[in-house]
Amino acid sequence: MDKTTPPFKMIKYNPRHGKEAYSFSVSGVYPKQNGWKKYWTDLCSMVATKSAHPAYALQWMFEIEHAKSIDDLRNNRKLDGLSSKLRLCLMVVLKGQTVKEIQLADAKLKLSEGSELNGRQVAWMMRNRFKLDEEEGHFYDERELMDLQLDKDNVPGYLVAWGTVYVSRLNWNQL
C-alpha cells in the first residue's frame, strides 16, 4: 500500500442516510503550531458530525492526511455540499501566506476549469502549512510535558493530561 492510500477500507456511501447540517463553522481562532494536532482532530470530528454520513465523512477527512498534493483530493466523493461548507468555514479562519496560495490556485483553476479549490483541498493546504518536522514537533510536545503541573491532589486529571500529550507524540498516521 503506498503512502497516498489510506490504511483503512472506506465505508460505502449510503445515499439514504440522514440529513446534512445546513451550515457549520470552526473556531474563529487561527491555530498555533503547538495546538495544531488538536485543532485538526477536532476539525475532522466536527465535519463528521455535521454530515448526513458521519463515518463516511470522517474517513473522507482522514484521506487528506494521506494525500501527497491537492490533486489527490479533486474528487469530493459525493460530499460536494459538505466540501463547500468546509471551504467556507476554513476561509474565515485562514490568513497570511496560506490565503495567498489558495487565491493563486483558485485563479489558475478558474482560468483552466472554471472552478476553485474544494474544501478538502483547502484543508490540505492548511494542514500542509502546519506540518512539523520531527525535531520541531518533539520540541513542542516536550514543552507541553514540562508544563504539566499537578493541580492540588488531582492525580487522575494529571494522568489524563500526561496521556494526552504522550499520545500526541505518536505519529498520528499510525493511530
pLDDT tens digits along 31-44? 777 778 888 888 99
Q: Is residue 22 one of the residues assigned to a domain? A: no
Would you give the DSSP letter of residue 60?
H
Please, which residues have CB within 8 angstroms of residue 161's CB and are 6 or more apart in sequence?
Answer: 148
Extract the C-alpha cell encoding 90.
Answer: 476554513
Whether residue 86 is predicted with pLDDT greater than 90 in this model: the reply is yes
Give the C-alpha separation, 126 to 22, whole Å: 24
Based on the domain organization, do 148 and 82 belong to the same domain?
no
Give the best-scoring range by mean pLDDT among 23-27, 84-88, 137-141: 84-88
Based on the domain organization, do 46 and 62 belong to the same domain?
yes
pLDDT digits (tens, 9 = 90+) for 144-167: 667 778 888 888 888 887 777 666
Number of domains in the chain: 2
Give the C-alpha separation, 175 to 164, whole Å: 13
Based on the domain organization, do 79 and 138 belong to the same domain?
no
Based on the domain organization, do 69 and 90 belong to the same domain?
yes
Q: Note down the domain range covering 74.
A: 33-129
Based on the domain organization, do 47 and 105 belong to the same domain?
yes
Based on the domain organization, do 67 and 153 belong to the same domain?
no
Query: Is the pTM value of this prediction over 0.75?
Result: no
Whether residue 133 is predicted with pLDDT greater than 60 in this model: the reply is no
Say which range, 21-35, 50-64, 95-109, 112-126, has the weakest mean pLDDT: 21-35
Based on the domain organization, do 74 and 98 belong to the same domain?
yes
Residue-level pLDDT at 134: 42
Give the C-alpha separation, 25 to 89, whole Å: 5
pLDDT digits (tens, 9 = 90+) for 7-31: 666 666 656 566 776 767 776 677 7
* Ranges of H-type helices in 28-153: 36-50, 54-66, 80-93, 97-113, 119-129, 134-147
